[in-house]
Amino acid sequence: MQTNQDNLTPKTNEVGSIVSLHRYPIKSMMGEELNSTRVGSKGLAGDRLFALADPSTGKIASAKNPTKWPSLFSFRAVYTEPLEQRIPPVRITLPDGRTVLSHDESIDQLLSTVLGRPVRFLSAAPSNGMLEEYWPDMEGLANRDVVTDEALPSDTFFDLAMIHLLTTATLNELRKVYPEGRFESRRFRPNLVVATANGAAGFVENE
C-alpha cells in the first residue's frame, strides 16, 4: 500500500502560531484565557452564551455603542467550573472588585446600579436579536457620526462571525499608523491571537 507523502508534509505557507486563546462568557465583557477548547458550529464552547439587554428596547448591550455602554470593558466574566456536561454559573467581577454569580436573584438590580441604567441579564439568545452600533465621524465609513441598529445572527449573541481571529501583524500595523495610540489585543476581544510568521506585515487577516 502506497501513501501520498505530500499529504503528510506540513505546509510551508503557514500564517503563524496561536499565542493565546480566549473565551468571553458574557457579550462585551472581558473574559478568560484558555489552554484548550472545543470548537463547534457556534464557535468556541461557552463563548458569548450570555448578554445584557436594555429592557426598554430589548436591544443587546454592546460595546459597539460606547456612547450608551461606556463601561462594559470594566467587567470581567469567567465560568466557575470547567465546561463539561453542563454550563456552570458565570462569575462577574464588577469594576470595584465585587463579584456576583449569573444565577443570583439580584443580578439585574446590581448590574443596573453599577452601569447607571436598567439592564436585564439574558441566559438565552433571541432569534431576532438587535444591537446598536456607533459609527465615528471618519472618512470611508458607510455611516458617519450616527448610531444604527444591527441584526445579530439568529439565536446567538455574536455580532457577525462565530470566531474572531486577530494577528500580531495587525496590532503592529495599527501602532504604525497611529503611534500615539495604544493597541492591545484584549481591546478587540479576539478568540485567537496569532503571531504571524515570516515577517508578515499589514492587515493579513484580510488575505
Q: Please check whether residue 131 lies inside any domain of the structure.
A: yes
All 3 cell numbers of residue 36?
Answer: 484548550
Q: Please check whether residue 204 lies inside any domain of the structure.
A: no
Residue 2 pLDDT > 50 = no
Residue 8 pLDDT > 60 = no
Would you state the pLDDT for residue 127?
92
Q: Please check whether residue 17 lies inside any domain of the structure.
A: no
Would you state the pLDDT for residue 4?
47
Q: Please check whether residue 115 lies inside any domain of the structure.
A: yes
> Which pLDDT tens digit goes with each residue over 119-162?
999 999 999 999 999 999 988 888 999 999 999 999 999 998 99
pTM of the model: 0.88
Q: Please check whether residue 189 lies inside any domain of the structure.
A: no
**Domain that includes residue 65, residue range:** 23-158
> How many structural domains is the chain composed of?
1
Q: Please check whether residue 54 lies inside any domain of the structure.
A: yes
Q: Please check whether residue 197 lies inside any domain of the structure.
A: no
Residue 25 pLDDT > 80 = yes
Neighbouring CB atoms inside 10 A of 69's CB total: 22
**CA 161 to CA 164: how far, in whole Å?**
7
Q: Please check whether residue 173 lies inside any domain of the structure.
A: no
**CA 192 to CA 156: how far, in whole Å?**
19
Instruction: Give the helix/strand (H/E) hosting 185.
Output: helix 185-188
Percent of the chain with pLDDT over 90: 81
Segment 16-37 mean pLDDT: 96
In which band, very low, low, confident or very high, does the pLDDT at 11 lie, cut at 50, 70 and 90? low
Task: Give the chain's mean pLDDT.
Answer: 91
CB-based contact 51:122 (threshold 8 Å): yes
Residue 7 pLDDT > 90 = no
Segment 29-56 mean pLDDT: 96
> Which pLDDT tens digit goes with each residue over 70-107?
999 999 999 999 998 899 999 999 999 999 999 999 99
**CA 189 to CA 108: how far, in whole Å?**
24
Distances (CA, A) of 194 to 14, 23, 111, 113, 204: 11, 15, 34, 38, 11
Distances (CA, A) of 8 to 3, 11, 48, 87, 197: 9, 9, 36, 38, 21
Q: How far is CA 63 from the centre of its chain?
A: 10
